[in-house]
Structure 1
Amino acid sequence: MLRRSGLIWAVVALTALAAARDGFDAWVAATDLPPLTPELGVEVVARDGSLLRAFQVSDGRWRLDPGPVDPGFVALLLGYEDRRFYDHAGVDPWAVLRAGGQALRAGHIVSGGSTLTMQVARLLEEGPTGKVSGKIRQARVALALERRLSKPEILQLYLELAPYGGNLEGVRAASLAYFGKEPRRLTEAEAALLVALPQSPEARRPDRAPELARAARDRVLALMAARGVLAPDRVRAAQSEAIPSRRRAFPALAPHLAARLMRAKPGAIRIETTIDAALQRAAERLAARAVSGLAGQVSAGIVLADHQTGEILAEVGAANWRDGESDGFVDMTQALRSPGSTLKPFVYALAFDEGLAHPETLIEDRPMAFGSWRPQNFDRQFRGTITMREALWQSLNLPVVQLTQAIGPARLLATLRRAGARVVLPGGQPGLAVALGGLGISLEDLVAAYAGLARLGRPITLSAEPGLAQPRSEPLFSAVSAWQVMDILSGLTPPPGAAPNRLAWKTGTSYGNRDALAVGFDGRHVAGVWLGRPDGTPVPGAFGGELAAPILFELFDRLKRAPDPLPPPPPATLMVDNPHLPQPLQRYRPRDAVFAETAPDAPELTFPPDGAEVEAPGGALAVKLRGGTPPFTWLADGRPVALALRARETVLQLPGPGFVALSVIDAKGRSAGVQLRLR
């Protein structure tokens, strides 16, 4: 009977235990867990993965994705905080018993029984640490976390959320702030300090209480030595290492670009760029030095790109982005400003393309009126008869206005837009002043247009985001015309102290000395420099050649020891001096050079029509001409393809297939032209 009674009690006990277990499981399963994906700050990284700029989370805390963390730090953390982390289910009964026994013997709490998972539970809920109710809640959440997450996921949460004093959370933010380095490689002293700080993050802040921080670090190291984790000699060496005495600023390279990308990619945590961190630092130092001796609130902008790939390698939006007096918050790579004379090369390229001129063509630099407008040269002097090459070298205004009148200002704007530039006209309609900078364009777009020039007329979209730089479909002008302009610009005298023939380059100064610019390129890279005041106030004495050009050349010096050579002339390039040019190209004559009564007899292409797509087997194209005075000179993309023809109908042998600018010049210098696509 007793045996039967004992069996009944055993069954009752087991049933009670099972019921308790089931009730406990249900209690854990019913736990209302906090969100398990803490908000992380956005990070913008360079092409090599290094951090350019990090952003705080919405409440102002620095909390970043830990990324790779030194395994030695993780070993110290688990060895010090939770040796059975991979064995318990969220609560370690042996740690609880040990802590309780120590408290009974000492009469006060000697060590806590919290596991790493319990600490994560507290950090997720930002709960209290001392009250019994808080401990019970942490234990319940820890048990639920262990059922929901893997051990590596729980450890990851700790690495993201552990407090390190002030607004620092997570091992990566702490490592960057206290050591100025990523946590992927830490010394044993650094790792021990990062293990010790979360236990009392405010009291042990090394930037405020270095001695308390040192003592806490050394206790971690001593315990690791006692437990055999670290050898005594390594502990002594680690204890001799200095404690960081200040909190470092987080990286903030390319701050304007980083902020722009973050706004454009809501929800992204990691944003990759094509920026070269070393070049970015060099460019930012150059920008700061460029304005250091200038009076007033002068800022600077710099864009450096690889024009073969379209990747932006450095972009400086302001000389000092934190300086409110100089409007450092304004990104001067994106602001619309006057380009000054930097658009003149595009006018010459278009004129060469239409067969209106050649680099050795003579043109008049003398006083003249265009309606009511009488433009002046920058120095208010006139040179008389000079070559186109000399006119562009000296950046004269009268010759380029004549060419702009011939090609039409709308043609210049269309070319810039084909390069991907956004241009804004003050009056809405383009006038001749656009050639002298009478429009708004950003520095980045201006550099992109010069990239098209450097690529022999083939434009490309520039981008600081990997994979977004793409060649554009429509050419700006022919390769011959682009090379002719490139050849002229490479012959400009460089700033004092700079190596000659390193770059093809051009400067610009806007009306009233508001903007000083320099843009240039070699066979691989293109860059632009802007200096001025973001609010548009004039800067007396600011000239592109004196301020911006030296920075441009020094930027290329920082980029590489020797320039990449410019491309050779295309095979069709006409390389002769003025007396050996075709007679119509020896001296520039505007389209309206003849008297009005002879205007009806000006040459006119009747076939093919402008903009046509024409079959040209083997490049043979039939053309028809009306009017004009023979003999006729025919040009394709600025190079002669037929000389001294008297017939008005002929067959020309043209390069093809593809786009071609076809033009004809009669004996009196009058011309007509069309744009075609040959099939």
Structure 2
Amino acid sequence: MRRLGLFALVLLLWGAAAARDGFDGWVAATVLPPVLAETSVEVRDRDGRLLRGYTVEDGRWRFSVTLDQIDPLLVEMLVAYEDRRFHAHAGVDLIAVTRAVAQALRHGRVVSGGSTLTMQVARLLEDSGTGALSGKLRQARLALALERRLTKREILTLYFTHAPYGGNLEGVRAATLGYFGNEPRRLTPAEAALLVALPQSPEGRRPDKHRERALAARDRVLARMQRFAVIDDETAQAARHEPVPAARRDFPVLAAHLADRAGRAAPFAAVHDLTVDRALQARLEALAARAVRGRGAHLSVALVVADHHTGAVLASVGSAGLGAAETRDGFVDMTRALRSPGSTLKPLVYALAFDRGLAHPQTLIDDSPVRFGAYAPQNFDGRFRGEVTVERALQMSLNIPVVRLTQALGPAHLMAALRRSGAAPALQGGAPGLAVALGGLGMTLEDLVQLYAALAQGGAARELQWRKGAGAAPAAPVTGAVAAWQVGHILSRIAPPPGAPRDWLAYKTGTSYGHRDAWALGYDGRHVAGVWLGRPDGTPVPGAFGGEIAAPVLFEAFQLLKPAPEALPPPPPATLMLRNAELPQPLRHFRARDGQYRSGDGRLEMVFPPDGAQLAGREVTVKLRHGTPPFTLLLDGAPLVTGTRERALPVELPSAGFSRLSVVDEAGASVAAMVWRP
């Protein structure tokens, strides 16, 4: 029957060719099936490498592909093996069909097929059979119509998109990723030959299930390529010694949480390009798995690494792995979970205090029992150290000094600075209290990394971007450049974890109340990173301290990022680098300053300029009301005028952009305003 079918097909085609006018109308009237099939959604890294893919609706892997993405050797082999006159015929090769019929009649069986690559594409598009005469006629008609409406390159692209390669692998990209673990751009001759052989019998020749059949089919392709001079004898011989894959490879599942997030943000996009670096992401996911190994069930970890110059997120690890979903809640993206930040906000409090002229790194501050109404903060270890420098208080992460500074600043100003950094702090109650300085609010790891990126950038907020090509918001001032540098300098002198290299990072650790969250945030001259460890359900982790379990992960993450740190920037020109005894009198000792921002009660006020003012020129006159002279005027944290009793102080701003003007009076009250000039 098959011989009769072939014979009938060739007669019909020859007859149709003779009746040219009717034949043209017959082909032109062909209804084409859809040629734009659904393809797997792809999430790619900054260089276009696959991070994660998603199967199409029927559970198949089918990735979009262009000929430019395929090794030319595979294209040449396919055409030489399947359809040598592909570039010459119009969809049906009458010579090949005639030869196939003659061979079938002579040998009593089908020796060779007459199907062209275009006919195979027609069969794949309609999923039609190969044996029935009606199916062959339909494929021939559709092939002729395809050739009239598509180019040869487009037809080959359809083949490489739809060809079956065994199991749920459809298309050449799914095949090379599934069998070889790489894209089809560069293939060995043995790999290319296997890919030519597989679609002829995708299940019978699957190398992971039928190794000997796959090997024999591949070698037949190599032999024919050798005979057709597509490859030389030496190449063919070497290719025969290359083994076929013994098993299917898993498709990459990197940055899984970020990939899902991208899909939710743009559900109709076929491709999502992220700023993530695939190699770094893989290394940090392995680090995350190691970090929780042997630490008991339900402990999870999250990491974020970014370039603080551009705001690009280079790696985002939301958990210890999706494979740990049952024991460690691996499906929860802990980079976005609201948690108590512990002591990680202290650097911002000190930077704001430096900005407003409340303190200097060498200012002495009292670490002794204190009560603010009903609130009596305690240091983590329950000890008191008396007078210490502000620098030492930050390095030791003392609680009482930072609460004193927060009380002087006003908790609302701390919350405003957090929002300027791009964070979205969450409070359970109404107005913020002094406990926010010690972690009494909700923050995400992304929020904290963004905050530390601002400190690394001289106090200018840098919005983190994880989608490639997304426009970043203009930088907004969080603190002045001098204050940001002073904080970074202090943090860079904190001793690293045991075994970690010195002089690597400006970093800070934190531990939330009840040992529920362990944090470590740090940066060098180029990159910023954050680490969180804890249990996603919020239950305590006894004995977990940020300095003991999170800081080592942070330092290892930086070592996996690059071989050596990039130096922090030098101090800004206005930085005041003096010993305590050389400081202006109001900055030598910090004194409690209740309500210095209230007006109408004799407290110091800055009448002009108002906070946030935009000035036309370089010169501005600071006008004061109330307060106790003499006054000290600071520009970006550096004393500009000291010991003056004047209440109208002319100032020449140094450059375009933002500047912070601060005034401290004899009683220690302070006021400040951020101004901007074009």
TM range (shorter): over 0.9
Instruction: Note closer, same or farther for the CA distance 1:124–1:665 as it changes in structure 2 (3 Å cut).
Output: same
CA–CA separation in structure 1 for the residues paired with 2:500 and 2:201: 57
Aligned to 1:158: 159
Aligned to 1:630: 629
Q: Deviations over 1:17-76 (max 9, x none)?
A: 899332222222221211011111122222223222222222211111234111111111
SS at match of 2:324: coil
Matching of residue 27 in structure 1 with residue 29 in structure 2? no
Alignment partner for residue 413 of structure 2, among 407, 411, 414?
411
The amino acid across from 1:641 in the alignment is: L
SS at match of 1:661: strand
Query: C-alpha displacement at 1:135, in angstroms?
Result: 1.2
CA–CA separation in structure 2 for the residues paired with 1:559 and 1:610: 40
Instruction: Note closer, same or farther for the CA distance 1:564–1:115 as it changes in structure 2 (3 Å cut).
Output: same
Aligned to 2:469: 467
Aligned to 1:9: none
Instruction: Note closer, same or farther for the CA distance 1:17–1:306 as it changes in structure 2 (3 Å cut).
Output: closer
Q: Deviations over 1:353-384 (max 9, x none)?
A: 11111111111112222221222211122212
CA–CA separation in structure 2 for the residues paired with 1:634 and 1:217: 82
Query: C-alpha displacement at 1:428, in angstroms?
Result: 4.0
- The range that moved more, 652-661 or 535-544, is 652-661
CA–CA separation in structure 2 for the residues paired with 1:609 and 1:323: 54
- The range that moved more, 323-332 or 242-251, is 323-332
The amino acid across from 1:385 in the alignment is: E
Counterpart mapping for 1:266-345 below 5 A:
266-325=267-326, 326-345=328-347
Contact 1:76 1:191 in 2 (8 A): yes
Aligned to 1:65: 64
The amino acid across from 1:526 in the alignment is: V
Aligned to 1:661: 660
Aligned to 1:256: 257
Matching of residue 559 in structure 1 with residue 561 in structure 2? yes
Query: C-alpha displacement at 1:473, in angstroms?
Result: 3.7
CA–CA separation in structure 1 for the residues paired with 2:577 and 2:528: 26
Aligned to 1:6: none
Contact 1:518 1:528 in 2 (8 A): yes
The amino acid across from 1:538 in the alignment is: P
The amino acid across from 2:348 in the alignment is: F
Aligned to 1:641: 640
- Any stretches of 5+ residues in structure 2 without a counterpart? 1-14
CA–CA separation in structure 2 for the residues paired with 1:575 and 1:381: 30
Query: C-alpha displacement at 1:228, in angstroms?
Result: 4.0
Alignment partner for residue 424 of structure 1, among 423, 426, 434?
426
- The range that moved more, 603-612 or 184-193, is 603-612
Query: C-alpha displacement at 1:649, in angstroms?
Result: 3.5
Instruction: Note closer, same or farther for the CA distance 1:32–1:580 as it changes in structure 2 (3 Å cut).
Output: same
Counterpart mapping for 1:347-358 below 5 A:
347-358=349-360
Query: C-alpha displacement at 1:139, in angstroms?
Result: 1.1
Aligned to 1:676: 675
Matching of residue 592 in structure 1 with residue 594 in structure 2? yes
| TM-score, with structure 1 as normaliser | 0.93
Query: C-alpha displacement at 1:625, in angstroms?
Result: 2.8
Query: C-alpha displacement at 1:468, in angstroms?
Result: 2.6
Instruction: Note closer, same or farther for the CA distance 1:606–1:69 as it changes in structure 2 (3 Å cut).
Output: closer
- The range that moved more, 165-174 or 103-112, is 103-112
CA–CA separation in structure 2 for the residues paired with 1:579 and 1:232: 86
Query: C-alpha displacement at 1:593, in angstroms?
Result: 9.3
CA–CA separation in structure 2 for the residues paired with 1:19 and 1:110: 27
The amino acid across from 2:467 in the alignment is: E
SS at match of 1:169: coil
CA–CA separation in structure 2 for the residues paired with 1:17 and 1:75: 31
- Any stretches of 5+ residues in structure 1 without a counterpart? 1-15
SS at match of 1:313: strand
Q: Deviations over 1:455-513 (max 9, x none)?
A: 11111111122333536342111111111111111110111111222111001111222
Counterpart mapping for 1:387-466 below 5 A:
387-466=389-468
The amino acid across from 1:445 in the alignment is: D
Query: C-alpha displacement at 1:169, in angstroms?
Result: 0.6
Which portions of structure 1, spanning 4 or more consecutive aligned residues, are displaced by more than 4 angstroms?
16-19
CA–CA separation in structure 2 for the residues paired with 1:32 and 1:394: 77
Instruction: Note closer, same or farther for the CA distance 1:419–1:472 as it changes in structure 2 (3 Å cut).
Output: farther
Instruction: Note closer, same or farther for the CA distance 1:603–1:214 as it changes in structure 2 (3 Å cut).
Output: same
CA–CA separation in structure 2 for the residues paired with 1:607 and 1:221: 85
Instruction: Note closer, same or farther for the CA distance 1:618–1:101 as it changes in structure 2 (3 Å cut).
Output: closer
Query: C-alpha displacement at 1:120, in angstroms?
Result: 0.5
Q: Deviations over 1:300-324 (max 9, x none)?
A: 1111111112222122122112322
Counterpart mapping for 1:124-203 below 5 A:
124-203=125-204
CA–CA separation in structure 1 for the residues paired with 2:626 and 2:229: 101
Counterpart mapping for 1:546-625 below 5 A:
546-592=548-594, 600-614=601-615, 618-619=618-619, 621-625=620-624
Contact 2:274 2:468 in 1 (8 A): yes
CA–CA separation in structure 1 for the residues paired with 2:235 and 2:642: 87
CA–CA separation in structure 1 for the residues paired with 2:337 and 2:157: 42
Contact 2:521 2:554 in 1 (8 A): yes
CA–CA separation in structure 2 for the residues paired with 1:140 and 1:483: 74
CA–CA separation in structure 1 for the residues paired with 2:72 and 2:614: 66
Query: C-alpha displacement at 1:654, in angstroms?
Result: 4.3
Instruction: Note closer, same or farther for the CA distance 1:329–1:580 as it changes in structure 2 (3 Å cut).
Output: same
CA–CA separation in structure 1 for the residues paired with 2:664 and 2:237: 89
CA–CA separation in structure 2 for the residues paired with 1:639 and 1:579: 16
Query: C-alpha displacement at 1:232, in angstroms?
Result: 3.6
Instruction: Note closer, same or farther for the CA distance 1:673–1:47 as it changes in structure 2 (3 Å cut).
Output: closer
Aligned to 1:8: none
Query: C-alpha displacement at 1:400, in angstroms?
Result: 1.0
Instruction: Note closer, same or farther for the CA distance 1:84–1:654 as it changes in structure 2 (3 Å cut).
Output: closer
| TM-score, with structure 2 as normaliser | 0.93
SS at match of 1:548: helix
- What's the RMSD between the two structures over aligned residues? 2.2
The amino acid across from 1:290 in the alignment is: A
CA–CA separation in structure 2 for the residues paired with 1:624 and 1:234: 85
Instruction: Note closer, same or farther for the CA distance 1:647–1:187 as it changes in structure 2 (3 Å cut).
Output: closer
Contact 2:407 2:594 in 1 (8 A): no
- The range that moved more, 354-363 or 655-664, is 655-664
Aligned to 1:240: 241
Aligned length: 660
CA–CA separation in structure 2 for the residues paired with 1:469 and 1:565: 28
CA–CA separation in structure 2 for the residues paired with 1:252 and 1:196: 29
SS at match of 2:660: strand
Aligned to 1:205: 206
Query: C-alpha displacement at 1:656, in angstroms?
Result: 4.5
The amino acid across from 1:335 in the alignment is: A
Calculate percent identity across the aligned residue pairs.
61
Instruction: Note closer, same or farther for the CA distance 1:590–1:95 as it changes in structure 2 (3 Å cut).
Output: same
CA–CA separation in structure 2 for the residues paired with 1:478 and 1:234: 65
CA–CA separation in structure 2 for the residues paired with 1:677 and 1:239: 72
Instruction: Note closer, same or farther for the CA distance 1:444–1:469 as it changes in structure 2 (3 Å cut).
Output: farther
The amino acid across from 1:59 in the alignment is: D
Query: C-alpha displacement at 1:653, in angstroms?
Result: 4.3
Aligned to 1:529: 531
Query: C-alpha displacement at 1:622, in angstroms?
Result: 2.6
Contact 1:448 1:461 in 2 (8 A): yes
CA–CA separation in structure 2 for the residues paired with 1:302 and 1:163: 39
CA–CA separation in structure 1 for the residues paired with 2:49 and 2:458: 34
Contact 2:17 2:23 in 1 (8 A): no
